[in-house]
């Protein structure tokens, strides 16, 4: 009798060799979020940002049955009120054909365990208002929306102007 294949899920830290894979996942995430036009990162940018001399973030890869299935990119932030660092989840993505198999939840649980292990006060992230499946998923995990906060961003020319003291 032939034994059926057992589906396996593993989460591992990304390595330098994953730079191209991470960029591919980022591009697929941007497609899903209708933001493809915003992706300007190159494989070299990802490599330098995650694996260079001063990494700005970390990444983990989810592998399902030995194949890349999704990723999460995160970094430490800081809560002055708690006096402790936290984890900010920048991106989480699971291949569309593999959604519903617990991969996204496993990635979130992995990061939550990492946050606890590192003594973090909390884990935070942003989600697009229209992404109801993600919002529902996050609520099921016990996450609470921070409706009393508005995210602000300086970028491009506005960032340069602010840095130069211009308005």
Q: State pLDDT tens for residues 12-56.
A: 999 999 999 999 999 999 999 999 999 999 999 999 999 999 999
Taking a C-beta distance cutoff of 8 angstroms, is the pair 93, 25 a contact? yes
88 flagged as catalytic: no
CA–chain centroid gap for 91, Å, is 2
Is the model's pLDDT at 3 over the cut of 80? no
The CATH architecture annotation of domain 9-163 reads 3-Layer(aba) Sandwich (3.40)
Per-residue pLDDT tens digits for 63-114:
999 999 999 999 999 999 999 999 999 999 999 999 999 999 999 999 999 9
Among residues 32, 64, 88, 138, which one is catalytic?
A: 138
**pTM check: above 0.85:** yes
Nearest to 60 by CA among 122, 133, 112, 116: 112
């Amino acid at each position: 009798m032939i034994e059926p294949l057992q589906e396996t899920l593993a989460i591992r830290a990304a390595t330098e060799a994953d730079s191209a894979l991470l960029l591919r996942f980022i591009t697929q995430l941007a497609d899903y979020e209708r933001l493809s036009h915003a992706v300007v990162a190159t494989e070299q940018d990802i490599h330098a940002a995650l694996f260079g001399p001063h990494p700005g973030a970390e990444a983990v890869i989810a592998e399902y049955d030995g194949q890349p299935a999704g990723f999460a990119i995160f970094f430490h932030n800081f809560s002055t009120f708690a006096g402790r660092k936290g984890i900010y989840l920048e991106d989480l993505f699971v291949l569309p054909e593999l959604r519903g198999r617990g991969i996204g939840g496993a990635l979130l649980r992995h990061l939550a365990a990492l946050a606890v292990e590192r003594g973090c006060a909390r884990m935070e992230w942003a989600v697009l208002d229209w992404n109801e499946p993600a919002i529902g998923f996050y609520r099921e995990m016990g996450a609470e929306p921070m409706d009393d906060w508005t995210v602000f961003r300086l970028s491009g020319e506005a960032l340069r102007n602010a840095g130069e003291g211009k308005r």
